[in-house]
Amino acid sequence: MKIKTSAPGKLMLFGEHAVIYGRPCLVTAVSSRIYVEAEKSSKGFSIDAPQVKDVRFVEETVKIFKEKYKIDNGLSIKTQSDFSSQYGFGSSSAVTVATIYALSQLYKKKLTKKEIFDLGYKVTLNVQGIGSGFDIAAATYGKTLYFIAGGKIIKPLKLKALPLVVGYSGIKADTPNMVQKIKAKMTNKKSKSSIKIQKIFEEIENIVETVKEELINNNWPRVGKLMNQNQKLLRQLGVSTEKLDKMCQISLKAGAWGAKLSGAGGGDCMIALVSYEKKEAVKEAIVRVGGEVIEVDNNTEGVKIE
């Protein structure tokens, strides 16, 4: 028997970095997915994952699953991806979640979404040692989520897709390194830098709580303003780059309601909130400053059987 599953990538909407320190964030699942095929095998264990950046996520998932359910057969796993791992769409978390779901179906273990999340988060921590798990939540639940680190709260919001344009900066971000850089500035809680960062995180939390309501009301001009405020705070935090700033600024000039980087910063993508009428102008503007426009939908389905 062969089982095929898929899980979506993600885009952080609001609250990156602050989420590591117990504050909430908003994340949306995207239409780019990773597919996993799993089959029992008499020939031991094999993984064929050509587009997966770090195959340890698949290996660790299988190890944890086998230990948990005391399984000892051989296994063959093949993965395939709609998107390049360089965009920072969360290919590692998508492949982790799709693998957990494929194994649960193959070995007839009924897992709730929260159980899938918990296993996936364990894999993230074992492989990467750091992270809030927001990407694992997006891959599992799909849609747009209000999320608190470790899955303390995972709340799907009743929303339609957001009118977003996504621009890739051309530089691959190193998320663990960016997270460590902030952590290093916060080791001494009473230091000036730590107090400043705490203040920034407090403001980011306020934005997340406010924007959650505005999103439900489809109040795009207000959501855009809050996006710009979040971007300003990320700049103060020191995680934006000249290129990301430029891509955000040019998007606003071309008529976007708001724009910000998405994720750890230091590279990867920015997102702009744009009306249908201004969409083409914003895309052209992003390309003009050297960005690459990525066509993806958001608010998409979580992990599923193919």
Stretch that binds ligand PMV, among 9-17, 36-44, 97-105, 298-306 (CB under 6 A): 9-17
Residues 56-115 that bind ligand PMV (CB under 6 A): 88, 90
In the bound state with ligand PMV, the residue whose beta carbon lies nearer, of 17 and 279, is: 17
Cβ-proximal residue to ligand PMV, closest one:
263
- How far is Cα 68 from Cα 103, in angstroms, rounded to an integer? 12
Query: Which of 57, 87, 134, 257 is the binder for ligand PMV (CB under 6 A)?
Result: 134
> Can you tell me which residue has the tokens 């993965």?
79
Which residue from 23, 264, 28 is spatially nearest to 148, judged by alpha carbons?
A: 23
Contact between 258 and 219 under an 8 Å Cβ cutoff? The reply is no
173 lies in the site for ligand PMV, by CB under 6 A: yes
- How far is Cα 136 from Cα 138, in angstroms, rounded to an integer? 5
- How far is Cα 7 from Cα 300, in angstroms, rounded to an integer? 10
Query: Which of 197, 200, 237, 264 is the binder for ligand PMV (CB under 6 A)?
Result: 264
* Minimum separation from the CB atom of position 135 to ligand PMV (A): 6
In the bound state with ligand PMV, the residue whose beta carbon lies nearer, of 71 and 125, is: 125
Residues 265-284 that bind ligand PMV (CB under 6 A): 268
> Structure tokens of 127?
């492989």
131 lies in the site for ligand PMV, by CB under 6 A: yes
Stretch that binds ligand PMV, among 104-112, 212-220, 261-269, 282-290 (CB under 6 A): 261-269
Stretch that binds ligand PMV, among 14-22, 77-85, 187-195, 278-286 (CB under 6 A): 14-22
- How far is Cα 266 from Cα 239, in angstroms, rounded to an integer? 6
Let me know if 135 is a catalytic residue: yes
Catalytic residue from among 48, 72, 135, 297: 135
294 lies in the site for ligand PMV, by CB under 6 A: no
- How far is Cα 144 from Cα 142, in angstroms, rounded to an integer? 7
In the bound state with ligand PMV, the residue whose beta carbon lies nearer, of 125 and 289, is: 125
- How far is Cα 262 from Cα 5, in angstroms, rounded to an integer? 27
Stretch that binds ligand PMV, among 52-60, 157-165, 171-179, 244-252 (CB under 6 A): 171-179
What sign results for the dihedral spanned by CA atoms 267, 268, 273, 279? Answer: positive
20 lies in the site for ligand PMV, by CB under 6 A: yes
Stretch that binds ligand PMV, among 72-80, 105-113, 127-135, 230-238 (CB under 6 A): 127-135
Output the CA angle 76-80-84, nearest 5 degrees: 140
In the bound state with ligand PMV, the residue whose beta carbon lies nearer, of 3 and 149, is: 149
DSSP string, 195-251: HHHHHHHHHHHHHHHHHHHHHHTT-HHHHHHHHHHHHHHHHHHT---HHHHHHHHHH
258 lies in the site for ligand PMV, by CB under 6 A: no
230 lies in the site for ligand PMV, by CB under 6 A: no
In the bound state with ligand PMV, the residue whose beta carbon lies nearer, of 60 and 135, is: 135
Burial code of 143-181, b = ≥16 C-beta within 10 A, e = fewer?
A: bbbbbbbbbeebebeebeebbbbbbbbeebbebeebbeb
- How far is Cα 247 from Cα 266, in angstroms, rounded to an integer? 13
Contact between 86 and 54 under an 8 Å Cβ cutoff? The reply is no
Which residues are tagged catalytic?
135
Q: Which positions touch ligand PMV (CB under 6 A)? A: 12, 16-17, 19-20, 88, 90, 131-132, 134-135, 173, 175, 179, 263-264, 268
